Amino acid sequence: MIARASAPPESLPYPVVTLRRRSLADFIDSDAIETIVVGSSKDPNPKLTVLLIPEGSGQPRFALKVPTTDRAAAALEGEMRVLLALRGRCAEPARSTIPRVVGQVEMGGRWGLLMNALPGVTMTSRYHGWRHTARPGAVASDFALAGAWLAEFHRATAGPAMALEMDQGIGVLLAGRFGAVAGMDSTLRELDAIYARLREHRTPRTAVHGDFWYGNLLIAEGAVSGVVDWEAGSVLGEPARDLVRFASTYALYLDRHTRPGHLVVGHRGLRAGSFGGGLVYAMEGAGWFPDLFRHFVEEGLARLGASPGCWRDAVLAGIAEVAATADHPGFASGHLQLFQRLAGLRPPDTWTS
């Protein structure tokens, strides 16, 4: 049986290869693959990631993602459709940083998505390096790299300008997920008001990654060399979603390497302990990181054609999106409480010294 992908335009430099549907073992044998490296995502519907390295190469040639549940399989189908569509829509240089679908390979009774392996190391390795997030220059470099890639990606996929729309059915999802939680009526009213204010601004419709955080960015030679994991992607959506996702997730883990109750090195006033303390600090605190955080979002919104003044509403809407869509219940609940705290619907946490 042959699995055939949609044929890309002839002008594309990386045509999609049609592969016979075959097992991973057969693929390794026939293509002289010497080494495989396996990793697994940590969400409730995990995917296995296998890097395939040709004999004598030392560098991965392919990346294979294999679902472990039916829901994970559906997510990979969606990722494949987005990646195939982006090949025909996204111009260089952004296109070369997006995985190219090669075909499908069977592993453990499920069909995995085979893509070319992109160069670079994840920004995660930088982020968790010794006191990396305590150094203004290092953090500013991370934000600059992400901002430059987003600007090019938005330019390469820009469509018509429309009202800034952060509500992707989020309110309905939140009501279904947390309807029994005390205070949800006021939470949803506040979220509706935020959406209404954001719609007063206009941004172009562009392709959207949907989970644009530092763990999905690859870095090589001083630039973003790859952006992976497009399961939540869309070929036409609201670009502000990716902008605020990067800033929010970067702030979220600032206290990861600090013991609870202790001050976080490099961030005066930030004390480790409560969920989302770094994000509260970024939005309401003072210092070099809150300034950088806000400037990144403001500058990105201005580039998209929206007023920089709506930065706080945009970030709050992004937090609500995570609360509605995150696989992990605890992570989702934490974001709901974080939204309520930052929207003034919950008492402030003791996040400052």
The reply to whether 165 and 16 lie within a common domain is no
- Which pLDDT score is estimated for 13? 35
In a shared domain, residues 284 and 147: yes
Q: Are residues 126 and 81 in the same domain?
A: no
Total domains, the chain: 2
Residues 156 and 291 in one domain: yes
Q: Of 83, 116, 149, which residue constitutes the final position of a domain?
A: 116
Contact 245, 124 (CB under 8 A): no
Report if residue 353 sits inside a domain: no
Cβ atoms within 10 Å of 40's Cβ, excluding its own: 11
Examine the domain organization and report whether 45 and 193 are in the same domain.
Answer: no
Looking at the structure, tell me whether residues 178 and 321 fall in a common domain.
Answer: yes
- Distance between CA 231 and CA 9 in Å, rounded? 23
- Statement to judge: residues 34 and 155 lie in one domain: no
Distance CA 266, CA 164 (A): 35
Domain contains 347:
no
What φ, ψ does residue 98 adopt, rounded to 5°? -110, 135
User: CA 47, CA 64: separation in Å to the nearest integer?
Assistant: 10
The most distant pair of C-alpha atoms in the chain lies apart, rounded to whole Å, by 63
Residue given tokens 């240089």 in the structure block:
93
Q: What distance in Å separates the CA atoms of residue 38 and residue 83, rounded to the nearest whole number? A: 22
CB 48 within 8 A of CB 66: yes
Which two structure tokens, joined as six digits, stand for 52?
């395939």
Strand partners, 50: 38, 64
CATH code, domain carrying 231: 3.90.1200
The answer to whether residues 102 and 126 belong to one domain is no
**Where in the sequence is the domain holding 161, given as residue range(s)?**
121-342
In a domain, 87, yes or no: yes
Residue with tokens 């999609």: 16
Same domain, 302 and 164: yes
Same domain for 57 and 164, yes or no, is no
125 and 109 in one domain?
A: no
How far apart are the two ends of the chain, measured CA to CA in Å? 63
In a domain, 330, yes or no: yes
pLDDT score at 45: 78
Q: Give the Cα-Cα-Cα angle 321, 327, 330 (nearest 5 degrees).
A: 90
Residue 241 lies in a domain: yes
Cis peptide before 93 (omega within 30 of 0): yes
Pair (151, 96) in one structural domain? no
Distance CA 245, CA 210 (A): 8
Domain of residue 39, CATH code: 3.30.200.20
pTM of the model: 0.90
Q: Where are the alpha helices (DSSP H) in the chain?
A: 24-30, 70-89, 123-127, 136-157, 170-178, 184-198, 240-252, 277-284, 288-304, 311-325, 329-342
Is 348 within the bounds of a domain?
no
Residue 20: per-residue pLDDT: 55
Blockwise average pLDDT, block size 10, the chain, 353 residues: 30 41 75 75 82 86 92 92 92 95 88 94 96 98 98 97 97 96 95 98 98 98 97 96 98 95 96 94 97 98 98 98 95 96 79 37
Question: What SS3 state is found at 214?
Answer: helix
Which two three-digit tokens encode residue 14? 């990386």
Give the DSSP H/E element, type plus range, for residue 112.
Answer: strand 110-116
Q: Domain for residue 350, yes or no?
A: no
